[in-house]
Amino acid sequence: MISRMKHAALMLMAAVSLSLAPIPVQAQTKDIVDTAVSAGTFNTLAAALKAADLIGTLKGAGPFTVFAPTDEAFAKLPKGTLDALMKDPAKLKSVLLYHVVPGKVLAGDVVKLNSAKSAQGEAISIKAVGGKVMVDSANVVKTDIMASNGVIHVIDQVMLPR
């Protein structure tokens, strides 16, 4: 009985570590913006970056860590929220910079943190529970997408600063 419990515990630990395992690091020539655009699932994010005049910033030297909401994540915003943000570049810029952490923070580092200071200035809360990582109320669904000037972690919700 004890050995079966140990075996089950080891299997659980292996599953947890696999779910947080980073994607193999490869030399990247695309910056964060080009990497996100080429993925095809960040069209809304790309449009928002353009509207907020942040393309140049995220094509810069960095390094940056971006918690990138997918198109599906933007679709979950309450009706009218995205349109209102797109019409208010200053507020949109604040929201987008809240998704950026200066420096390159890989998945292995994220799980050791309780929070990280965003480029917007406020801290993002970080929780690692049960093999899953959450930033604020968003789930990290894919980690360590490498770019020439940083790393992208995909999230399932748009995070709104307080």
Give the span between the Cα atoms of 65 and 86, in whole angstroms. 23
CB 119 within 8 Å of CB 102: yes
- Per-residue pLDDT tens digits for 134-145: 999 999 999 999
Percent of the chain with pLDDT over 70: 83
Lookup: tokens for 52? 């907020």
List the one residue out of 160, 149, 158 whose CA is nearest residue 36. 149
**Domain range annotation of the chain:** 2-155
CB 145 within 8 Å of CB 152: yes
pTM (2 d.p.) = 0.81
Give just the sign of the alpha carbon dihedral 21, 23, 27, 31: negative
- Per-residue pLDDT tens digits for 15-72: 333 344 444 444 567 999 999 989 889 999 999 999 999 999 999 998 999 999 999 9
CB 37 within 8 Å of CB 79: no
CATH classification of 2-155, choosing from 2.30.180.10, 3.40.50.300, 3.40.50.720, 3.20.20.140? 2.30.180.10
Give residue 129's pLDDT. Answer: 82
- Per-residue pLDDT tens digits for 74-117: 999 999 999 999 999 999 999 999 999 999 999 988 888 999 99
Give residue 15's pLDDT. Answer: 37
CA distances, 77 to each of 37, 100, 154 (Å): 21, 19, 16
List the one residue out of 135, 136, 97 whose CA is nearest residue 119. 97
